[in-house]
Amino acid sequence: MKTVLITGCSSGFGRDIARYFLERDWKVIATMRTPREDVLPHSTNLRILPLDVTDAESIRQAIEAAGPIDALVNNAGIGWLGALEGMPMQTVRTVFETNTFGTIALTQAVLPQFRERKAGVIVNVTSSVTLRPLTMLPVYTASKAAVNAFTESVALELAPFGVRLRVVLPGRAPDTRFGANAQTRMEGAIPEVYAGLAQQVIARLQEPGPITHASDVSEAVWWAVTDPDSPMRIPAGEDAVEWAKAG
């Protein structure tokens, strides 16, 4: 039985990915900053571990506790909407610490075991916003686009060791808390001169149209992990697929 470690499993995509793998007889190590036993169904194949991807010691402890794994899914991330002019640099650093540096640090932590076994898969969940420029998302988009580039570059140096890397790009997912959480962070990040533009952005987020469901992301991650012939970049969700085709 194979084992996958998934970050950001307290809600949204991470929680659904964990369920998806459990239903297909994988051992799942579901990590969360604040572990909760009630968010996933009880299973002898499930372990829940604390993990803060921005903390080096937390990463070390989680990897040590997890033991050997066959796949890593870097899903943990934070959304942020705001005009660059009103965004403090500390906020910029916070976004990158989780979305970019956390992904890089955890990837680095699992590489020795994958390289030594000459096997392993790493899937980084980024975003379809990297496929086209969008208003009020410059920092978030940059943090995710950096992961895309990082993944494709590291994939080249790890291919000789039998280690695969893939990127999954979800679209807009109103069924999760991700977008709502991002909107709450707009407070204080919108100078008055940008207020009208911000309202337009919020209105567009609420418009009907193609969206991404958590199940779309889980299926894409499963494909990336289990199929060596899967593409490097996998859009997840009807809207993400449309954007990928248009790009």
Active site residues: 140
Structure tokens given for 64: 């040590």
Structure tokens given for 100: 């970019």
What does the alpha-carbon distance between residue 144 and residue 216 come to, in Å, rounded to a whole number? 19
What does the alpha-carbon distance between residue 102 and residue 83 come to, in Å, rounded to a whole number? 24
User: Closest Cα partner for 89 from 222, 189, 234, 194?
Assistant: 189
What does the alpha-carbon distance between residue 16 and residue 5 come to, in Å, rounded to a whole number? 13
Residue 50 belongs to what H/E stretch? strand 46-50
Contacts of 142 (CB under 8 A, 6+ apart): 96
Q: Do the Cβ atoms of 3 and 49 come closer than 8 Å?
A: no
What does the alpha-carbon distance between residue 102 and residue 67 come to, in Å, rounded to a whole number? 19
- Letter string b/e over residues 211-233, b meaning 16 or more CB atoms within 10 A of that residue's CB: bbbbbbbbbbbbbbbeeeebeeb
Contacts of 29 (CB under 8 A, 6+ apart): 3, 4, 5, 6, 47, 48, 49, 66, 69
